[in-house]
Homo-oligomer: A and B are copies of this chain.
Amino acid sequence: MTNAVEASVVNSVGDRHQVVIIGGGFGGLYAAKKLGDAPVDVTLIDKRNFHLFQPLLYQVATGSLAPADISSPLRAVLSKNKNVRVLMDEAKHIDTASQKVILSEQEIPYDTLIVATGVSHHYFGNDHWATVAPGLKTVEDALEVRRRILCAFEAAERETDQEKRQALLTFVVVGAGPTGVELAGAIADLAYKVMADEFRSIDTSEAQVILLEGLDRVLPPFKPELSAKAQEGLERLGVTVNTKTRVTNITETGVTYLAGDETIDLPAHTVLWAAGVKASPMGAILAEETGAELDRVGRVVVANDLSIPNQPDIFVVGDLANFAHQGDTPLPGTGAVAMQEGEYMAEAIARRARGEAVVPFRYVDLGSMAVIGQHEAVVDMGFIKFSGFFAWMAWLIAHIYFLIDNDRKLTVAIHWIWNYFTKDRGSRLITETAAAKSLQLEKEFATVVERKQAAKQEV
């Protein structure tokens, strides 16, 4: 405990207002950057040493971009903001009585706390599906998805049994929100265009890409006419879209789902999960410590200034916040909402420091967009909706604009221009991920157990 005591002494040196931010996603990073010239001390805590540009994660999962293209080291982004320090550590708990964040080996005192720890996958009570149907939230997730997709093609090339080969070439994406739609489109492009010439035993056009959605259309948050455009686009790419379905089981060999009254067993080697999210554990910790209300998926219901009711010093921003003060439903868990919330927080803190009044947060909806395959997108800006090539250009420009560093803007733009003209995809490496390693360890363990059982039976 010596370290913790020493550390907190160091931390409280000076009389400046101490702002602690947990999480370096869009919400946390935008708050930290904007506080970079305010008269406060800022500590940004994250388990990872980099900010991840999640909207492009599906391009890492399908080999268009490398992880580093969409990840920015937090220290590098914030190096010029001398009042901001970055700590790579995990927040274990929050002690609201003494106003401290408890990390693995030290405690950080705060005057104002901003919690921005986001969400993770939600398998609706079927957590064991996580190993057979990975989701897409972290760099490791994306590398694992990439590994599975590419390994399926490699295994199919070696396979001589027609039925097994078809299962290896069947890719199922569960959930047709933006991530699911973008992932399915990118897999179809990979199979039918990018890798068309690369195999000698299999014909990659025999691959099947199937998108399953529970509701009656793809991209449910968008206007129905854009959903229809998106579905048309996906079908043109070769994706089979099945709406109004309900997945009832996922195993290593396939997926079972209900379509109307019919139960369908689909043999498939690769099943990917893009269907639901739940709040990170910090939500429950806040509820326990402060009595904050949580919604159905564990997000913290916040006041109109993003604070927790009756806790004027604790704020929640980004995907972890349920902000329901505009319209009928809470704001969606998008990067745009998180960025605006983060910047609002920074301004609110600066205003409070100057003794000025703080106005409630208001989200300015600049629209939604999703990409459908290589050169097509749908864009809904409220007053105008469009789709096709120009929508794709708009999507491209917006995403490059919001990438954090100039280095990344440049290399991502070059990768995309290159891919556009060559249909190439350079980041198609099968690397041994941690997930693959533990999967292998599990399998080895299972084999040992089987052998021992067999040996027993022989005796």
Contacts and interface: CB of A to CB of B under 8 A. Distances in A.
A310 interface: no
A426 B414 contact: no
Interface stretch (A23-31, A74-82, A218-226, A266-274): A74-82
Contacts of A68: 66, 426-427, 429
A441 interface: yes
Contact of A415 (B3, B411, B425): B411
Contacts of A414: 410-411, 414
A313 interface: no
Given A49-B150, A160-B6, A432 B140 contact: yes
Contact of A426 (B72, B85, B88, B418): B72
A79 B428 contact: no
Given A158-B87, A424-B407, A431 B67 contact: yes
A71 interface: yes
Contacts of A197: 79-80
A108 to B, nearest CB: 11
A198 B49 contact: no
Contacts of A427: 66, 68
Contacts of A287: none
Given A67-B66, A67-B431, A434-B433, A158 B426 contact: no
Contacts of A160: 2-3, 6-7, 10
Contacts of A159: 3
Nearest to A60: B68
A408 interface: yes
A151 to B, nearest CB: 8
Interface string A18-57: 0000000000000000000000000000001110000000
A161 interface: yes
Nearest to A405: B426
Contacts of A438: 437, 441
A436 interface: yes
Interface of A: 2-3, 6-7, 10, 48-50, 66-69, 71-73, 75-76, 79-80, 85-89, 105-106, 139-140, 143, 150, 154, 157-161, 195, 197-201, 405, 407-408, 410-411, 414-415, 418, 422, 424-434, 436-438, 441
Given A139-B431, A140-B432, A410-B418, 20 more contacts: A6-B160, A49-B428, A49-B430, A66-B68, A68-B427, A73-B198, A73-B428, A75-B198, A75-B199, A79-B197, A87-B158, A105-B158, A139-B429, A140-B431, A407-B418, A410-B414, A411-B414, A433-B433, A434-B434, A437-B438
10 contacts: A3-B159, A49-B154, A50-B428, A73-B198, A73-B429, A76-B426, A407-B424, A408-B426, A434-B434, A434-B436
